[in-house]
């Protein structure tokens, strides 16, 4: 189902005022998304990846790596 946002808005504006208020209340309650059942806990994935680098969580090293990447032109080297 692929609806244009303007089509949905036009339909909502044609609703009676009490139904518009109910629609707004429901959208505010779930952030405008369809309610979905939460499955699992994402925290179980924290720390699961091992890069092999003992300094991979070192913020100074991360900053240096980012700076080097930003300065690199990413052009092929001969």
Q: 32-71 pLDDT, tens per residue?
A: 566 666 677 777 777 777 788 888 888 888 889 889 998 9
| Contact (CB, 8 A) for 59 and 51 | no
State residue 67's pLDDT score. 92
Return the structure tokens found at 59.
Answer: 């913020």
Round to whole Å and give the CA distance between 76 and 1. Answer: 44
Task: Note the pTM of the prediction, 2 decimals.
Answer: 0.35
pLDDT of residue 27 exceeding 70: yes
Domain boundaries, the chain: 1-31
Contact 32, 26 (CB under 8 A): no
**Taking phi first (over 0 means left), then psi (-120 to 50 degrees means alpha), and beta for anything else, what does residue 47 get?**
left
20 near 12, Cβ under 8 Å? yes
């Amino acid at each position: 189902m692929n609806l244009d946002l303007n089509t949905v808005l036009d339909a909502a504006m044609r609703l009676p005022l009490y139904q518009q208020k109910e629609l707004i209340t429901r959208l505010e309650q779930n952030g405008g998304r369809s309610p979905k059942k939460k499955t699992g806990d994402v925290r179980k994935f924290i720390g699961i990846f091992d890069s092999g680098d003992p300094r991979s969580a070192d913020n100074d090293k991360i900053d240096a790596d980012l700076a080097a990447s930003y300065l690199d032109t990413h052009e092929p080297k001969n």
